[in-house]
Structure 1
């Protein structure tokens, strides 16, 4: 993983942590928020998408790219809906770190099966990051209870983690296709921005299907009501993930990007203490230390 890619992901994680601090003031359902944010990014980037396709040739992208784009929209929707459902059954302090931690290992396994194996040192790093994510929400170690992880909330958090794993692997494959085609004409950052717009646009049909399937139009109504605040948040989210996509174009193994993104948890904890008056515990010190050691181990052979 190049130093440039590392800096991109770290800066993206800083933005992501900052958005999560602001997001605590968000009102309305997560489905409504996703609809408003996705619609905003899609509309803003629509002229750019048209320009990009006209520049490289509208027929230059193969069918498998569009299949991947559809799949990433579905995977993103699975992640959002499973996340919302998981929070209905379990405490956020249990669910959030699990959803953040599991994709680190899942993506590493997926990329290994796809022919991009990680070294033993990187596997050690992934393991340390995962343990650190689980330790951080605890105030005391004696609070850990394995039974808290055997419930419906854990089941849906696994589904959410699978969604994250799926769109991470799919995004890397789709970006590889588009950068290979566009490279003679446009630089990678143009391709990353194009794919960002496509990704958000492909989220809209599955999200609307969820509303229609449940015969619940309330999220659509709420999306219109929060269109400005959610739209601004969507722009920040778009910038954040665009940096991640750009990092993917310079990195062979996407599991490294997914692992490095967990540094956002460290940033989020620090911001929570500085701006929200949250307390810092010994468990957080150990959890942050494990995450940082895991990042050092996983990036050591590729930095």
Structure 2
């Protein structure tokens, strides 16, 4: 992974933490999630005039990606309703890079060096350890843990599909522009069928999340999509998941959350993995 790709993915991780913090911090989680997903449209639609269309060979990946992103968003939305997410959601973020690495090594023929494998495992361990920082209450909640593990499977699945699809498409930005538009339309239909009040409230109560959260999310995913074409998907996925560290910093500095010794240790383990990844090859 070149230095430019490395720091681009770090930027994406920060933007990912920003939109997650906006969703988590608001009272109406459905409104916030709708704002983020539908908020892709103001950037994705104009982008079509400036990027090439994806190769038709990538259409199966595009359809699969739309379904997987939608599933991820639905499970993420439900996860945000279950108690203290800092105990449960890190499970999803930590499991994803491990699953992507295993699939990449076993089925995709990806060649990772020993240090890269150690780096991925260290990052995942650091993220997973965050779920243990404030006790095991979240882990005793079987439904919450199952939700987190399922979310992690969706994250791993769409990461692999997005990465392979962007490569086949021949245009990472064109591929994600179409994916983002289709995903937003699907989410509008879903909200209209389940919670139509959300769509009515969005232009009034959801302006900030629509423009700020939507832009942050779209740019973050676009950067990662491009990075998938420049470096092994497993390494990009692992590095992206340090967004949980940025989220912790946002929580402590801007949302008044307490910074415990356990969180510091978990953060240092994760950052050690990042350093190993940067030093590899």
Place the TM-score, normalised by the shorter chain, in its bin. Answer: 0.7 to 0.9
Measure the CA separation in 2 of the matches of 1:144 and 1:210: 34
Distance 1:273-1:227 versus aligned 2 partners, 3 A rule: closer
| Contact in 2 for aligned 1:86/1:154 (Cα 8 Å) | no
What is the root-mean-square deviation in Å for CA atoms of aligned residues? 2.7
When residues 195 and 279 of structure 1 are mapped into structure 2, their CA distance, relative to the original with a 3 A threshold, is: same
Deviation at 1:98, TM superposition (A): 0.8
Does 2:240 align with 1:266?
no
Q: Say whether 1:248 aligns with 2:224.
A: no
Q: Deviations over 1:79-101 (max 9, x none)?
A: 11112223444531222211111
Whether 1:26 and 2:26 are equivalent positions in the alignment is yes
Report if aligned partners of 1:89, 1:153 keep a CA contact under 8 Å in 2. Answer: yes
* 1:117-266 pair list within 5 angstroms: 117-139=111-133, 143-144=135-136, 148-149=139-140, 151-179=142-170, 191-208=171-188, 210-211=190-191, 215-232=194-211, 233-251=213-231, 253-266=232-245
Deviation at 1:211, TM superposition (A): 4.1
Aligned pair 1:41/2:21, yes or no?
A: no
- The CA distance in 1 between the partners of 2:130 and 2:29, in whole Å, is 26
- Per-residue deviation, 1:76: 0.8
Counterpart among 264, 279, 284 of residue 263 in structure 2 = 284
Does structure 1 conserve the Cα–Cα contact (< 8 Å) formed by 2:38 and 2:187?
Answer: no
Task: Identify if the C-alpha distance between structure 1 residues 18 and 47 changes in structure 2 by more than 3 Å, giving closer, same or farther.
Answer: closer
Counterpart pick for 1:275 among 254, 263, 266: 254
Q: Structure 2: any 5+ residue segments left out of the alignment?
A: none
Whether contact under 8 Å (2:116, 2:277) holds in the other structure is yes
Sort the Cα spacing of 1:24 and 1:117 in 2 relative to 1 into closer, same or farther, 3 A: same
Does residue 81 (structure 1) correspond to residue 81 (structure 2)? The answer is no
- 2:95–2:128 Cα contact (<8 Å) kept: no
Deviation at 1:71, TM superposition (A): 1.2
Larger CA Rg, structure 1 vs 2: 1
Aligned residues: 279
Indicate how the Cα distance of structure 1 residues 301 and 153 shifts in structure 2: closer, same or farther if over 3 A, else same: same
Per the alignment, do residues 121 and 291 of structure 1 end up closer, same or farther by CA in structure 2, a change over 3 Å counting?
A: same
Deviation at 1:74, TM superposition (A): 0.8
Normalising by the residue count of structure 2, what TM-score does the alignment of the two structures yield? 0.86
Deviations 1:245-294 (A, max 9, x none): 2222211x111011111332333333333333432221122111111122
Contact 1:86 1:155 in 2 (8 A): no
CA distance in 1, matches of 2:88, 2:114: 28
2:8 corresponds to 1:4:
no
